[in-house]
Structure 1
Amino acid sequence: MKHPDPRAAALIAQYEALSPAGLDDLVTLYAQDCRFKDPFNDVRGRAALRRVFAHMFETVKAPRFVVAEAMVEGDRCFLSWDFHAGDFVIRGASHLHFDAAGLVVAHRDYWDVAEELYEKLPVLGALMRLLKRRLRAT
């Protein structure tokens, strides 16, 4: 995906081409003291951010991101994306905050762990779907 904002364009390009060899290039788009938070991680700093993505490549089969939409207003950016990992897809969004130098100082990922991950696991998925049906209003 192309975007006219150079900060968003650089991030999108890095995420859509992300590989273990490209992790150093990715983290250069983040401030030294950046914060990254997702449903499983809450870390600070480039080294910690790099470890999160290195771990992803160690534990997930063929991970890749496809950015569907990007919106930038001032120093804030919102990305919606699909994360492909082997046989499943997680749909989520990222809220980013750029500093004056155009580096990411805060990155927060939002995605529904129950729907996008747990429901796709054999035993736990059946229990999650049953619980969801029982709690549904209609």
Structure 2
Amino acid sequence: MSTLSSVINRFVEYYAGLDNQPPSALTTLYHPDAQLIDPFGEHRGLVAIQRYFTRLLVNVQHCRFSIDVPVCEGERYAVSWTMHWSHPRISAGKALALGGCSMVEVQDNLIIRQRDYYDAGEMIYEHLPLLSWAIRGVKRRVRS
């Protein structure tokens, strides 16, 4: 198994059961100097990434990813995924799904840089009563 295959397998296993993973498990996936960027911010270093995941998952009822086959080149891969999640304060806790993708760079058999792309509006804002009305209105106007 190649180094990249090993990292991809660990990535898939970790995110497939994200809500059951302790922050300490990130040490087997991310480089100490890793950078994680998503629509909500940039997190530099393993400690910052662990802190971010801890805050994200504290009130989540469940959060798991189904991950498609990655596209690989050298020490990089791109993967599309669907996040299946629920939070008691968003959409009354009902199960939600969100599509996205990650661009990942590997160094020393660990992730050194990950950039996640997804629609933060679709993830959160469209499920909040007042904001959802405004966002749906904007989307209708753009489609017209």
CA distance in 2, matches of 1:27, 1:33: 11
Unaligned runs of 5+ in 2: 87-94
Percent identity among equivalent residues? 32
The amino acid across from 1:47 in the alignment is V
SS of 1:66's equivalent?
A: strand
Q: Deviations over 1:10-33 (max 9, x none)?
A: 111111122454321233211111
1:105–1:85 distance in 2 versus 1, CA, 3 Å: same
> Which structure would you say has the larger RCO, counting Cα contacts within 8 Å and 6 or more residues apart?
2
TM-score under structure 2 length normalisation: 0.82
* Aligned partners of 1:64 and 1:84 also within 8 Å: yes
Return the alpha-carbon distance in structure 2 between the equivalents of residues 81 and 27 of structure 1. Answer: 22
Asked if structure 2 preserves the Cα contact closer than 8 Å seen for 1:5 and 1:72, the reply is no
- What residue is the counterpart of 1:82 in the other structure? 82
Aligned-partner Cα distance in 2 for 1:60–1:8: 25
Map 1:1-138 onto structure 2 (within 5 A).
5-86=5-86, 87-99=95-107, 101-136=108-143, 138=144
Query: Could you tell me how far apart the structure 2 residues matched to 1:31 and 1:118 are?
Result: 32
Q: CA RMSD in A?
A: 1.8
Deviations along 1:32-70, whole A, 9 cap, x unmatched? 111011111211111111111111211322122221232
SS of the residue corresponding to residue 33 of structure 1 reads strand
The 1:135–1:40 alpha-carbon spacing in structure 2 relative to 1, beyond 3 Å, is same
Counterpart contact for 1:23–1:50, Cα < 8 Å: yes
Distance 1:21 1:7, change over 3 A: closer
Cα contact 2:62–2:85 (8 A) shared by 1 = yes
> SS at 1:59's partner residue?
coil
- Number of residue pairs matched by the alignment: 133
Matched to 1:16, the amino acid is: A
Q: Please, what TM-score do these two structures have when normalized by structure 1?
A: 0.86
Q: After TM superposition, what 4+ stretches of structure 1 lie above 6 angstroms from structure 2?
A: none
